[in-house]
Structure formats: C-alpha cells, structure tokens
C-alpha cells in the first residue's frame, strides 16, 4: 500500500510539471538572428515568438536604429514558383501558440541599412506588442 501511495504521488508530480512545461505564462522571443548585409542594402531578421499567456496578443511594430525603416514582411510562393513579399500591418499571436519568423516566410525587413551587419555583431531590436508592451532583444548577426 505504501508503494502505491508513493507511486501516485510521483505520477501526480510528473503530471504537474509537464502541464507547466508547455508555457511559461509569458510572451517570449527566442532563436533570433540577423542575416549579414551591407549599409544601403535591405536586411532581414528571424525569431520565434511564443505567446505563453492565456490571451491573444498582437505584434504591432518593430523598431531598430540600424535602418531607415523596419517592417514585417511575408515571403510567399505560388504554384508556379513565383515568390513575392507582402508587408504585414500586424501579426496575431494566438494564446499558447507560437509564430515562427523564418527564411522564405515571415521575416523582419530592414529597409536601407544605415550600417554594415557583420557576423559577430549584435543588434538591439524593439518589438511592440498590444498586451506585452515593448520588449527589447539583442540579436546576433549570423551566417545562415
């Protein structure tokens, strides 16, 4: 009987931890990186936003000091292999879900970089969310 009791406590403990494991209860930004580029060109940044909260949130804008403008775009391919980019006014972040910014998909576009982005540099980026407010992240420049 003692063993069964002990086991049930153990099972309960494991269940409790795994239930919490899925979300931190916060909105987090991970795996961020910027593609190397030169001043005067356009650049791109990528990351994964996890909305661990129980409410939907919206990415309203992104600001940086390294370009004339910082925009969010989506690269999309059609059935004929034609790729185009569409500017996104905002990005919806569903509660307890994540949105991946990745090459060939959703990405941050730096228009007219004011400086070179070299591998090893770190770029501060400010992401402005409707609920989570402004989050600043330091993003490394990496070769893909």
Complex with another protein: residue 22 or 81, whichever CB lies closer: 81
| Residue 78 Cβ vs another protein, minimum distance, rounded to whole Å | 9
Rounded-to-integer distance, Cα 27 and Cα 115, Å: 30
Tokens of 114: 């004011």
Q: Which of 32, 49, 93, 109 binds another protein (CB under 8 A)?
A: 109
| Residue 84 Cβ vs another protein, minimum distance, rounded to whole Å | 4
Q: Which of 26, 41, 65, 97 binds another protein (CB under 8 A)?
A: 41
Kindly state whether residue 125 participates in binding another protein, applying the rule CB under 8 A. no
Which segment (5-13, 48-56, 74-82, 133-141) binds another protein by CB under 8 A?
A: 74-82
Inter-residue contact 124 to 64 (CB < 8 Å): yes
Complex with another protein: residue 94 or 118, whichever CB lies closer: 118
Rounded to 5 degrees, φ, ψ at 47 are -170, 175
Kindly state whether residue 103 participates in binding another protein, applying the rule CB under 8 A. yes
Interface residues toward another protein, by CB under 8 A: 35-38, 41-44, 68-69, 71, 73, 75, 77, 80-87, 103-104, 107, 109-112, 143-144
């Amino acid at each position: 009987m003692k063993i069964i009791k002990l086991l049930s406590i153990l099972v309960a403990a494991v269940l409790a931890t795994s239930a919490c494991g899925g979300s931190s209860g916060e909105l987090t930004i991970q795996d961020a990186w910027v593609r190397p580029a030169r001043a005067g060109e356009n650049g791109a940044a990528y990351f994964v936003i996890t909305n661990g909260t129980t409410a939907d949130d919206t990415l309203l804008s992104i600001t940086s000091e390294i370009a004339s403008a910082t925009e969010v775009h989506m690269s999309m391919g059609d059935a004929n292999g034609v790729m185009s980019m569409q500017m996104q006014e905002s990005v919806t972040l569903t509660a307890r879900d994540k949105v991946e910014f990745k090459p060939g998909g959703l990405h941050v576009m730096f228009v007219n970089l004011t400086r070179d982005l070299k591998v090893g540099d770190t770029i501060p980026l400010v992401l402005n969310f409707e609920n989570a407010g402004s989050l600043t992240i330091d993003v490394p420049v990496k070769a893909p």
